[in-house]
Structure 1
Amino acid sequence: MVAGAGLGLAALAVTGAPDHLVWRLTGALVLGVSAGTGGMALAVLAQTADPWDLALRLLIAALVVAAAVLMLVAGAHVLAAVPAPAWSAVPAALSAFLVRLAWPALGRIPARRLLTSSARAGHLASAATALDPSLLTWIAEDAHWRGRRLHSKSWPTPPRAARAAVFVPAWQEVRRLTRWPGRLAVLAGAVVLPAMIARAGGGAGPVGIAVLAGGLTAAACAVSGVRWDADDPSFSRLLALRRRDLLAARAVVPGLLAAAWMAAALAILPGLPAALLWFAPLAAPALAAAALRMARRAPVDHAMPVLNIAGGAIPSGPLIWGLTGLDLAFAGAWPAAYALVAQPADVRTALILQGVAGAGVLALYLMRTSNR
């Protein structure tokens, strides 16, 4: 209710009060409190049954779109034409109706949802206590897989040229991706971001950074197996693979996903030479190595010294943690970054350099990791 009252005051500050300030202030407070209590009631109802959960998500999406259109297009003109009691009494009645439905539904919340909330609160407390952003990844993983019913399917027969044990880790990532369609949908929709930056006049520099950052993000979405191997290597040892072979198999899906994302993003860029599309598959190995390194990095070491610079003190532990993985991406994808920013007339030299740098970074990373 307190958050709803603040929301109502913020909405009134944005839209303005052309007349009858007291009535419109009262109506804004009633509208905000009604939104807060109604949202709380919907959240309770959503935890009692899955249809309510889907309805709540659709309603939130519709309300966000409607609020954005109202604020940007209509604004205070609509509020000036509608009396304050009219646009506050209806939400108040709807909120009271939802609260009436939610009160007896409190006893029907399944125990699994309460356990999920308890586990999520524990993860958040651990992340806040340890000041480790990597724990947020585990929160997302556990929240997605906990309580989910998975159906078994027969695995395809691997090619004769490939060893079955090497085929298994790559196919595990494929199965994880297919069981997380929302992540793939977000990645597919994000391919338009470089084109939007270009149409907004962002220049070649921001566009190139967006393409490479998107490719690295796509690769990082397919390294769950590597993260689990680093946290508990007991299951990966059952495959009887050397560490180099296991990491090489784990790098296949991130590399393919990064190449596909960058190729799609470059294909829809306006006025981009077709030759620059070849940088997508050539830069993918370096981005895959960077994603593997990011997934296998240790927690933040807060015992490392603090760097005193002119702008202030910087803790070196979080700084090194944040740069882990980005160093490989920069070392292996700088020819692609140069070509996307400068767009030279002849890109053959840059393509050769990118092929050597991408493959070299991945090979050196696999060799260095296998020797540990």
Structure 2
Amino acid sequence: MLDFDSAQTRLSTAGKPPAITEVCPLHQAAGRVLAQTLFATLDLPPADNSAMDGYAIRHADYAPGRPLPVQQRCYAGERPEALEPGHAIRLFTGSLVPAGADTIVMQEDGVENDDRFEISRPPVLGAHVRLQGEDVREGDQLLAKGTRLGAAEIALLASQGYAQLTVYAPLRVGILTTGDELVSPGQPRADEHIYNSNGPMLAALVEQMGASVAHVLHARDTRESLQEAFAILLRDCDLVLTVGGVSVGEKDLVKPTIEQLGGVLDLWRVCMKPGKPVALAHIDGKPVVCLPGNPVSAYAVFALLVTPLLRSMQGRTQVMPAVQYGILASDRVFNEKRDDFLRVQASFEPQGQTTLTPYGQQGSGIISSLPWASGLARIPANTAMRNGDTVAYYDLARWLA
């Protein structure tokens, strides 16, 4: 069997980076990937401004018990006069700091009567002044090419006046489920059938990653049905994910169909549980990844092995999220011949320790464990791990983003 880390590395480099870019309005850029490095167009803040509602003064003009005449009231968005010696200017949060002023006194630290402001608490020189450029300097790099954009990145770009961005075209992913035993949710089901959970699950996972689901198709266990589905997927998609049908049974027809289409299927048995059977092929230069048919196994393989490939094909620079560590909390001893990825819930202790509690049933058919789990804890192959041991933790909030 191919070891897990080698399989992950091979899949992460199995696709081509994107070549097509497009211009996207800033307000529609969430989830998109930058196709250019962006730089600051101005200082941030662009000028000194007040961090508080208060009064601008010269610190040297302060004396206990001496009121300062209020020269002007200046709201955010207005331009203040230059501060006269021995005076104060009433400001509000975001107001420009007047020329000649060097300190802001909070309104709570004094009293204004008859347009005279008396300071009740000695001010600190330079207090509550946001200095020009203290956040960002003009010409600084803001975001690197290959950054996936979220609300925080969009806020930063908006503050610099960017109204549109050059981003990579969305990655188009096609999903193919197989099996005569599957019926679509909402359709009549006989005892010999099960509902197809893999199609909707994988579509949701792909969209969660910021890619576009071009098709979710289902093929019956016939060469003709598979060929028709592959023709559509290879025509419209950059990446194809299949589920099931790559074993050696009489109706496992995905492998011969891929070979008929000119693909060479690299059949692996990856040293991981759940999710041992994984395969990779290329047809017309497009990667086809074959996932195991069990929904729990397909979920784990997608999270750990497919997402690095997907990020790479999206043009992202961060392909592998960080692996974290936590303390196993279980009365069981885990010791498998393959790397065992337990569905766990992470809890964070006041001392800073992360505790990982496994789901009670770890069978690969326990779909109820998926919405419960916050991540996967890795138990190395042929290694006994028990309560209190430190294990690697794959946080699904990071690995599925």
TM class, shorter-length: under 0.3
- TM norm structure 2: 0.19
Higher strand share: 2
User: What TM-score, normalized by structure 1, do the two folds share?
Assistant: 0.20
Please state which structure has a larger fraction of its residues in helix. Answer: 1
Of structures 1 and 2, the larger Rg is shown by 2
Relative contact order (C-alpha < 8 Å, sep 6+): which is higher? 2
